[in-house]
């Protein structure tokens, strides 16, 4: 076995990044591929959360303690990203809330939360628009 | 007594920057409490006028000879730890533009929102609340000197925008909003990734600080990735082709007042972010030599101009048509930026200013046609030239401005853009710009022909000219279109100074 | 009156007429009276300016500055003066003619007609006295847009189609090529002022200037060089007064005027001769002359025939300018005047025939000379002017153009000029000949009311007689125009 150990080290050493990338792609894929609006929102949240993890994991310094001043501790993890992410979480929650509220109204207006059905409805309206062309 | 007054004024003078954000932000919930159509409108108008007034003061302050940028430390925390509000000519200029546009648009809001086709009667309050929040967010983006803070304000304005668009009466507004929400959130998250990576590498979020530290790191792959994420995210927000899919529907189905406001401000602020980061934070050197931003922007800008204009020609709904035209016009601004010369940047900034004026006028005119006739498809426009001569004349001037006919602002921006292009020897791109303006002749003239040559539909034959409360704001903007097309000193001097500043003193030939 | 006020007045007088027309919209007599009065005043003012200019005074005026270093400014120079004199003298005459025409034709929207007419004249004055290329470009566009409502005056499907082609070609060429050329000149030369002998530095490359010249010639779509000539026949859907003043005089002359102006004042004659594209463009103009003469021969509709004849005659002017010799430039400048008077007479006649006898096609006009003798005599005189035979003024300009081709040794173009003159005999002079000496009897005889010598409306008749007399007058007094034109070289 002659694995390049440095390669493995980098590969696994960056495991947090890999997790972030995997989560992000999952979220992105759901947003694009799934027709159900609720699931799209779930995907969107997943997508955002992955970025939060990116921030949080980047704040961690190996061997450092939580940023609470105490005696005998020399190095602290960086607290700032956590604070940033707190804000970002608030933003994300608001976005989700707006999105869900929108979905409720879409459901009321279209009686469905499936993308393709909504578009079918709209195509019909669009056609009637076209028929109303200038004569 | 006098002393006291003086002191208060001075104190206020120092607090002006933060008031710009705080006032609309606090006014929004107040609006919810007032909950009265007439008072709400008056209140919102007052707040917006205040913002405009302050913006003008700030612009005066920073554009004086040898004036330093204004720095304001929120809560007294010094940068780079605290959040800094930093006002230089660039953001003061855009700030004045969008607060002015917001005020003018608001002038017509009260009458325009009487229309039940535009918005449900009981939703008026929400519109004003969201409008103020959106304004606060946009102003915040412009003023802040902190990258993360910028993201937060971006989301504040975006969330408010989603609400504004969803208030449209057509149910397609909902679907358009949802699409915009998904795209917008992805864009914002990209921006967040970019900012995170920047922080990871430099340890600072303050833009001025970033600008100082980044040149040493220009070889770093992380910075490269950060730049890409950031730019892609913002390009979603400015609706640069091909990331523009959310825009036409959102503009078409939102209440017209909202469309006019967004067209004149939201994309402009997003473009400000591009300029701020490309030229100030990352620096011209990094953005254009290490990263081939020039090629990307040129290709996307020209494609955007041609394709969006072609699509605009095919539209029956005029709001949608103008929305596509906006996508094309954004192409012009991006082309100006892509030149990576001071003259190009100046042309881009000028067009940013001028385009706000023309699209504002056009959308407001459309709003007034919608108010009287109840629809804005080409069919509805029949005979408008006869029944609503003043509105249609305003529309015509706005249209001529889009085409770039001399004595309108459109000509001024085209002139500077072409001049900058030819100076760099970009002949092909210049011709594409001109072809784009020819395409705009086609879609504008389609409307003009229908409005002036077709007889009005029987239902609309007795339509009256729109009320003064709609005509006045329209004609303010039309007058601005003509005035700044003739007396270009103010915008030209400002944009020239800004460009020279961003290019660190390289004079424009 | 101070010179400055005079300049201001010359430019804004037509604009002052606009509110007056709108005010008097319910009193047709007063409205048209005001139009004629202002027309006469306008001519008097231009004549005054002519007097001042002859005294050697320099007449300049600056309005406002759009771009740093690029004001909207005006300056009187010989070529512009010729153009302004022609346009302003024909304006009141056309108005007189229009009264007869529009009323007997029962046209709608006459107020709109007179309003945009005045705006178009305003634009023409701006073009004539422009001090720099940008000013000229601005008024050039104003002229295009203000004549659009005149072209589509009838509002019919046909008029709309014509208007679309008109606007399409004129805007396309002006935006795509002309504007590019103007900005290119600005970037290359650093100035747009009109200066005798040109503005380009001697070290700017000939190939760049050659491209610019081509952009100018194609961009000035109003000069109707093939393949951008199609708008002129399309514009014939307009009422005849519009066709006569705008599409025989103001608009097309604005085009060729701009061509000469650019050749003389932007490039300079000497530089022009050195450019690689000049020869090609001159031959293209020659081709335009010949091709449109042949097309004119095949048109049965009188106005269409006149339109193609105009295209051909505009080719003369463009070609003359591109010969880059003093005689060519003089010939071109004179041809602007000579052709204007002849062509406007022809259009006046065409309109009179249409209104009085309801005939639009050439083959229906056989034997009409009995009922409309004056009209057809005027037609014959004007035809001589176009062909270039005495006793009409066209003789001189054609002579100088011919000398120009000889001087510059463009032998092919010399042959083209001769051939085209022969062709114009065929397509123009045959019409009055057949009117007086019909080959076959006309199917229906129109009767002339007792006490009248001509069927045409009286106002129109007066106008067309005056212009026809002017054609002959110009033959004897061409000296003054030659004198002005010779200052160009």
- Chain A CA closest to residue B456: A134
The per-residue pLDDT for range B254-280, each reduced to its tens digit, is 999 999 999 999 889 999 999 999 888
* B438–C172 CB contact, under 8 Å: yes
pLDDT of residue B143 exceeding 70, the answer is yes
Name the burial class of residue B373, with classes exposed (0-12), middle (13-18) and buried (19+) by CB atoms within 10 angstroms of its CB: buried
CA distance C113 to chain B (A): 15
The per-residue pLDDT for range A102-130, each reduced to its tens digit, is 999 999 988 888 888 888 877 776 666 55
* C138–B407 CB contact, under 8 Å: yes
Could you tell me how many CB contacts below 8 A there are between chain B and chain C? 61
Question: In this complex, does chain A touch chain C, defined as having at least 3 beta-carbon pairs under 8 Å apart?
Answer: no
Of A44, A81, A135, the CB nearest to B185: A44
CATH of the structural domain A5-131, one choice from 3.40.50.720, 1.10.287.3510, 3.40.50.10490, 1.10.1760.20:
1.10.287.3510
The per-residue pLDDT for range C292-340, each reduced to its tens digit, is 999 988 888 888 888 899 999 999 899 988 888 888 888 898 888 888 8
Q: Give the pLDDT mean for A28-44.
A: 91
The span from the CA of B227 to the CA of B234, in Å, is 11
Q: Could you tell me which chains touch chain B, where touching means 3 or more CB pairs under 8 A?
A: A, C
pLDDT of residue C284 exceeding 80, the answer is yes
**Residues on chain C touching B412 (C-beta within 8 angstroms):** 66-67
CA distance B496 to chain A (A): 36
The two structure tokens encoding residue C404: 């120009």
Please report which helix (H) or strand (E) contains residue C65, including its range: strand C60-67
* B316–A130 CB contact, under 8 Å: yes
The per-residue pLDDT for range C385-406, each reduced to its tens digit, is 888 888 888 888 888 888 888 8
Of B400, B419, B445, the CB nearest to C183: B419
| pLDDT at position A134 | 44
Of C66, C137, C184, the CB nearest to B488: C66
* B186–A28 CB contact, under 8 Å: yes
Please report which helix (H) or strand (E) contains residue B162, including its range: helix B147-166
The span from the CA of B182 to the CA of A41, in Å, is 8
- Answer whether B467's CB lies under 8 Å from B391's CB: no
Contact residues for B152 (Cβ-Cβ < 8 A; gap 6+) = A87, A91, B140
The per-residue pLDDT for range C97-154, each reduced to its tens digit, is 888 777 777 777 788 888 888 899 999 999 999 998 999 999 999 999 988 888 888 7
pLDDT of residue A135 exceeding 50, the answer is no
**Residues on chain C touching B487 (C-beta within 8 angstroms):** 64, 66
* A51–B189 CB contact, under 8 Å: yes
Average pLDDT value for chain C: 86
- Chain B CA closest to residue C186: B419
Global confidence as pTM:
0.89
pLDDT of residue A97 exceeding 90, the answer is yes
Largest Cα–Cα distance in chain C?
73
Q: What percent of chain C has pLDDT over 90?
A: 9
Of B403, B419, B434, the CB nearest to C186: B419
* B434–C68 CB contact, under 8 Å: no
**Residues on chain B touching A110 (C-beta within 8 angstroms):** 171, 174-175
Residue B309: pLDDT band by 50, 70, 90 thresholds?
very high
Q: Determine the distance from the C-alpha atom of residue C56 to the mean position of all C-alpha atoms in its chain, rounded to a whole number.
A: 27
B177 and chain A: CB distance < 8 Å anywhere? yes
CA gyration radius for chain C? 21
Question: In this complex, does chain B touch chain C, defined as having at least 3 beta-carbon pairs under 8 Å apart?
Answer: yes
**Residues on chain A touching B182 (C-beta within 8 angstroms):** 31, 40, 44, 99
Of A55, A122, A133, the CB nearest to B379: A133
The per-residue pLDDT for range C296-308, each reduced to its tens digit, is 888 888 888 888 9
Q: Give the pLDDT mean for C42-71.
A: 85
The span from the CA of C339 to the CA of C317, in Å, is 10
Q: Give the pLDDT mean for B74-87.
A: 82
pLDDT of residue A1 exceeding 50, the answer is no
Q: Determine the distance from the C-alpha atom of residue C176 to the mean position of all C-alpha atoms in its chain, rounded to a whole number.
A: 23
- Answer whether C192's CB lies under 8 Å from C200's CB: no
pLDDT of residue B181 exceeding 90, the answer is yes
- Give, in order, the Cα–Cα distances in Å from B72 to each of B16, B57, B103, C307: 9, 15, 25, 70
Disruptive mutation site among A23, A98, A126 for chain B (greatest number of B CBs within 10 Å): A98
Please report which helix (H) or strand (E) contains residue C192, including its range: none
CA distance B368 to chain A (A): 20
pLDDT of residue A47 exceeding 60, the answer is yes
B275 and chain A: CB distance < 8 Å anywhere? no
Query: At B224, is the secondary structure helix, strand, or coil?
Result: helix
**Residues on chain C touching B407 (C-beta within 8 angstroms):** 138, 142
The torsion angle over the Cα atoms of residues C43, C46, C50 and C56, rounded to 10 degrees, is 160
The per-residue pLDDT for range C222-278, each reduced to its tens digit, is 888 888 888 888 888 888 888 887 777 788 899 999 999 998 898 888 888 888 888
* C64–B486 CB contact, under 8 Å: yes
Of B155, B199, B200, the CB nearest to A91: B155
CA distance C406 to chain B (A): 38
Q: Determine the distance from the C-alpha atom of residue C458 to the mean position of all C-alpha atoms in its chain, rounded to a whole number.
A: 25
| pLDDT at position C187 | 87
| pLDDT at position B170 | 83
The per-residue pLDDT for range C338-354, each reduced to its tens digit, is 888 888 888 888 888 88
The per-residue pLDDT for range C71-108, each reduced to its tens digit, is 888 988 888 888 998 888 888 888 888 887 777 777 77
- Give, in order, the Cα–Cα distances in Å from C94 to each of C80, C121, C222, C242: 21, 12, 20, 9
B311 and chain A: CB distance < 8 Å anywhere? no
CA nearest C286: which of C414, C389, C386, C402? C414
**Residues on chain B touching C127 (C-beta within 8 angstroms):** none
Q: Give the pLDDT mean for A53-69.
A: 81
CA distance B334 to chain A (A): 27
Query: At A66, is the secondary structure helix, strand, or coil?
Result: coil
CA nearest B269: which of B106, B103, B95, B25? B95
pLDDT of residue C447 exceeding 70, the answer is no
- Chain B CA closest to residue A129: B316
The per-residue pLDDT for range B201-224, each reduced to its tens digit, is 888 888 888 888 888 887 888 888
Of B406, B430, B449, the CB nearest to C180: B430
Length of chain C: 489
Q: Could you tell me which chains touch chain A, where touching means 3 or more CB pairs under 8 A?
A: B
Q: Give the pLDDT mean for B24-40.
A: 89
Length of chain B: 509
The per-residue pLDDT for range C214-227, each reduced to its tens digit, is 999 999 988 888 88
**Residues on chain A touching B166 (C-beta within 8 angstroms):** 102, 105
The strand ranges marked E within B64-222 are: 70-73, 84-87
- Answer whether C225's CB lies under 8 Å from C318's CB: yes
Q: HSE (CB half, 13 Å, CA atoms) of B28?
A: 18
Disruptive mutation site among A10, A36, A134 for chain B (greatest number of B CBs within 10 Å): A134
Of A40, A47, A109, the CB nearest to B171: A109
The span from the CA of C348 to the CA of C343, in Å, is 8
- Answer whether B380's CB lies under 8 Å from B374's CB: yes
* B148–A84 CB contact, under 8 Å: yes
């Amino acid at each position: 076995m002659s694995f390049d150990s440095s390669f493995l080290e980098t590969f696994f050493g960056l495991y947090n990044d890999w997790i972030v990338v995997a989560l992000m792609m999952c979220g992105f894929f759901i947003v694009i591929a799934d027709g159900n609006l609720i699931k799209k929102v779930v995907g969107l949240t997943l997508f955002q959360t992955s970025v939060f993890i990116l921030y949080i994991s980047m704040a961690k310094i190996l061997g450092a303690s939580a940023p609470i001043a105490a005696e005998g501790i020399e190095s602290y993890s960086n607290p700032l990203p956590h604070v940033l992410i707190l804000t970002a979480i608030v933003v994300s929650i608001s976005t989700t809330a707006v999105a869900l509220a929108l979905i409720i109204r879409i459901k009321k207006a279209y009686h469905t939360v499936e993308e393709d059905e909504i578009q079918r409805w709209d195509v019909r309206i669009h056609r009637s628009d076209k028929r109303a062309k200038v004569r | 007594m006098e002393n006291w007054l003086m002191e208060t004024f001075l104190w206020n003078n120092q607090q002006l920057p933060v008031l710009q954000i705080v006032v609309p932000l606090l006014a929004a919930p107040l609006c919810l409490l007032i909950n009265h159509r007439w008072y709400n409108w008056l209140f919102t108008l007052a707040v917006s006028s205040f913002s405009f007034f302050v913006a003008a003061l700030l612009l005066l302050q920073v554009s004086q000879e040898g004036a330093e940028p204004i720095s304001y430390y929120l809560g007294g925390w010094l940068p780079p730890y605290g959040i800094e509000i930093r006002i230089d000519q660039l953001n003061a200029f855009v700030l004045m533009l969008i607060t002015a546009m917001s005020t003018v648009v608001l002038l017509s809001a009260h009458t325009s929102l009487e229309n039940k086709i535009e918005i449900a009667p009981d939703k008026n309050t929400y519109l004003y609340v969201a409008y103020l929040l959106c304004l606060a967010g946009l102003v915040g983006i412009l003023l802040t000197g902190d990258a993360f803070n910028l993201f937060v304000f971006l989301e504040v304005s975006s969330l408010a925008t989603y609400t504004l668009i969803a208030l449209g009466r057509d149910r397609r507004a909902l679907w358009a909003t949802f699409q915009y929400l998904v795209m917008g959130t992805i864009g914002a998250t990209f921006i967040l990734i970019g900012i995170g990576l920047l922080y990871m590498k430099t340890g600072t979020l303050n833009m001025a600080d970033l600008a100082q530290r980044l040149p040493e790191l220009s070889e770093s792959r992380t910075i490269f990735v950060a730049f890409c994420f950031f730019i892609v995210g913002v390009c979603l927000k400015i609706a640069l082709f091909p990331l523009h899919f959310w825009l036409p529907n959102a503009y078409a189905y939102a209440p017209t007042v909202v469309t006019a406001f967004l067209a004149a401000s939201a994309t402009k602020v997003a473009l400000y972010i591009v300029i701020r980061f490309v030229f100030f934070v990352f620096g011209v050197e990094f953005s254009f030599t290490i990263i081939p931003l020039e090629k990307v922007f040129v290709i996307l800008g020209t494609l955007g101009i041609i394709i969006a204009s072609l699509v605009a020609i095919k539209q029956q709904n005029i709001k949608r048509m103008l929305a596509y035209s906006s996508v094309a016009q954004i192409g012009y601004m991006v082309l100006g930026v892509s030149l990576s010369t001071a003259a190009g940047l100046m042309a881009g900034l000028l067009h940013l200013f001028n385009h706000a004026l023309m699209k504002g006028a056009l959308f407001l005119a459309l709003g007034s046609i919608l108010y009287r006739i109840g629809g804005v498809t080409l069919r509805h426009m029949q005979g408008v030239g006869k029944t609503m001569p003043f509105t249609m004349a305003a529309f015509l001037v706005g249209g001529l401005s889009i085409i770039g006919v001399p004595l309108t602002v459109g000509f001024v921006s085209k002139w500077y853009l072409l001049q900058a292009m030819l100076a760099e020897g970009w002949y092909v791109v210049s011709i594409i710009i001109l072809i784009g303006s020819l395409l705009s002749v086609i879609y504008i003239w389609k409307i003009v022909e229908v409005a002036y040559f077709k007889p009005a539909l029987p239902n609309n034959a007795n339509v009256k000219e729109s009320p003064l409360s709609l005509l006045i704001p329209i004609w303010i903007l039309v007058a601005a279109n003509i005035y700044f097309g003739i007396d270009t000193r103010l915008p030209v001097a400002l944009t020239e100074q800004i460009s020279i500043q961003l290019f660190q003193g390289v004079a424009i030939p | 009156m101070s010179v400055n006020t005079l300049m201001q007045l010359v430019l804004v007088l037509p604009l002052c007429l606009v509110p007056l027309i709108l005010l008097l919209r319910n009193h047709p007599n007063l409205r048209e009276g005001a139009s004629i009065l202002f027309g006469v005043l306008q001519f008097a003012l231009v004549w005054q300016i002519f007097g001042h200019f002859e005294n050697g005074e320099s007449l300049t005026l600056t309005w406002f500055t759009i771009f740093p270093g690029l004001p909207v400014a005006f300056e009187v120079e010989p070529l512009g003066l010729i153009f302004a004199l022609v346009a302003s003298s024909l304006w009141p005459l056309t108005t007189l003619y229009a009264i007869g025409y529009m009323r007997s034709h029962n046209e709608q929207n006459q107020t709109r007609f007179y309003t945009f007419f005045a705006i178009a004249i305003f634009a023409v004055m701006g073009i004539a006295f422009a001090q720099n290329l940008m000013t000229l470009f601005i008024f050039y566009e104003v002229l295009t847009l203000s004549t659009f409502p005149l072209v589509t005056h009838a509002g019919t499907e046909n008029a709309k189609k014509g208007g679309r082609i008109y606007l399409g070609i004129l805007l396309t060429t002006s935006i795509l090529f002309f504007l590019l050329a103007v900005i290119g000149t600005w970037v290359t030369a650093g100035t747009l002022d009109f200066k005798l002998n040109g503005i380009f530095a001697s070290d700017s490359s000939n190939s760049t200037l050659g491209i610019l010249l081509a952009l100018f010639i194609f961009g000035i779509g109003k000069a109707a060089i093939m393949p951008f000539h199609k708008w002129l026949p399309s514009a014939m859907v307009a009422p005849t007064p519009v066709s006569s003043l705008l599409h025989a005089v103001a608009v097309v002359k604005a085009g060729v005027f701009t061509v000469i102006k650019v050749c003389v004042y932007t490039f300079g004659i000497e530089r022009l001769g050195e450019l690689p594209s000049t020869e090609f463009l001159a031959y293209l103009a020659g081709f335009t002359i010949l091709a449109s003469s042949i097309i004119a021969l095949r048109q049965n509709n009188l106005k269409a025939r006149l339109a193609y004849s105009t295209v051909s005659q505009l080719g003369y002017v463009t070609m003359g300018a591109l010969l880059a010799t003093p005689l060519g430039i003089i010939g071109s400048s004179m041809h602007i005047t000579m052709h204007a008077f002849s062509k406007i007479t022809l259009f006046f006649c065409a309109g009179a025939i249409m209104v009085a006898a309801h005939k639009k096609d050439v083959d229906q006009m056989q034997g009409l000379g009995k009922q409309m003798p004056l009209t057809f005599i005027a037609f014959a005189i004007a035809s001589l002017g176009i062909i270039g035979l005495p006793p009409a003024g066209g003789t001189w300009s054609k002579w100088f153009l011919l000398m120009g081709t000889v001087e510059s040794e463009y032998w092919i173009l010399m042959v083209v000029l001769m051939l085209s003159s022969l062709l114009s005999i065929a397509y123009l002079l045959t019409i009055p000949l057949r009117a007086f000496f019909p080959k076959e009897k006309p199917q229906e005889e129109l009767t002339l009311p007792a006490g009248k010598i001509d069927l045409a409306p009286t106002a129109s008749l007066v106008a067309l007689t005056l212009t026809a007399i002017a054609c002959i007058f110009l033959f004897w007094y061409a000296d003054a125009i030659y004198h002005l034109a010779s200052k160009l070289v």
